[in-house]
């Protein structure tokens, strides 16, 4: 309560009076829910599929992170070309394609399918963040930029903590392919929610590379 009444709070609650900023914080949490949960889930999935070894897990996750790196480099150009709303929706389509591919998995080694699917998801996850950060910062006065960035940082890690926690609880209850597929369906639902939020954001704002 003291923090709420303080004239210089760590996080000014009036930040959340801005619709765009609230929406961007929600997307940040949801996006990181997927990213962190998936980074922890993939090695467990590989074991369930009979694909064992740290080198194999590293190779599959490298495909995801490499795709994230490339899409991150291209995100400014793509957003300037198509607009932030369309790019954000397109990013969710990439993620959904990846998770739909994972839903096709059957018992037995299929490293190539998993690698391709994870790469699609990596593109979707990483295309999302630069857009959200740009929209959030541009919706607020310049003097609140540092505080706003801190608020988004909190939602980022909150999403990650929730993602890992829920994944762990579900897999503890049943570490099998069907449980993994349930998690993939949850991630598809999250991508659809983010796409819905994107429809309420500004259609275009130039991103400076």
Model-wide pTM > 0.95? no
CB-based contact 199:88 (threshold 8 Å): no
Q: How far apart are the first and last CA of the chain?
A: 41
* Report for 63-67, 118-122, 143-147: range of highest mean pLDDT: 118-122
Nearest one of 52, 191, 50 to 121, comparing CA atoms: 191
Assign a CATH topology to domain 18-198.
Growth Hormone; Chain: A; (1.20.1250)
Tell me how far apart the alpha carbons of residues 186 and 194 are, in angstroms, rounded to a whole number. Answer: 13
Q: Parse the chain into domains and list their residue ranges.
A: 18-198
CA distance 78 to 53: 37
Least confident of 72-76, 95-99, 186-190: 72-76
Question: Do 149 and 28 touch, CB atoms closer than 8 A?
Answer: no
DSSP state of 15: G
CB atoms within 10 A of CB 161: 14
Nearest to 35 by CA among 167, 135, 150: 167
What share of the chain has pLDDT > 90, as a percent? Answer: 44
Q: Are 179 and 37 in contact (CB under 8 A)?
A: no
| CA atoms within 13 Å, Cβ hemisphere of 13 | 7
Mean pLDDT of all residues in 104-126: 88
**pLDDT > 60? residue 190:** yes
């Amino acid at each position: 309560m003291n923090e709420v009444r303080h004239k210089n709070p760590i996080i000014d609650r009036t930040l959340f009076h801005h619709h765009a900023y609230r929406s961007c914080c929600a997307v940040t949490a949801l996006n990181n829910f997927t990213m962190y949960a998936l980074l922890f889930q993939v090695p467990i999935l590989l074991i369930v599929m009979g694909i064992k070894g740290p080198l194999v897990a590293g190779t599959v996750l490298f495909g995801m992170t490499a795709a994230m790196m490339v899409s991150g480099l291209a995100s400014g150009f793509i957003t300037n070309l198509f607009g932030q709303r369309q790019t954000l929706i397109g990013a969710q389509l990439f993620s959904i394609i990846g998770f739909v591919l994972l839903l096709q998995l059957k018992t037995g080694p299929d490293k190539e399918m998993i690698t391709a699917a994870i790469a699609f998801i990596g593109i979707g996850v990483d295309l999302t963040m630069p857009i959200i950060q740009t929209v959030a910062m541009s919706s607020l006065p310049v003097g609140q930029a540092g505080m706003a960035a801190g608020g988004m940082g909190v939602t980022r890690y909150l999403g990650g903590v929730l993602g890992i926690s829920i994944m762990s609880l579900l897999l503890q209850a049943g570490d099998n392919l069907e449980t993994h597929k349930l998690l993939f369906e949850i991630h598809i639902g999250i991508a659809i929610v983010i796409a819905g939020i994107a429809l309420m954001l500004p259609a275009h704002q130039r991103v400076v590379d």
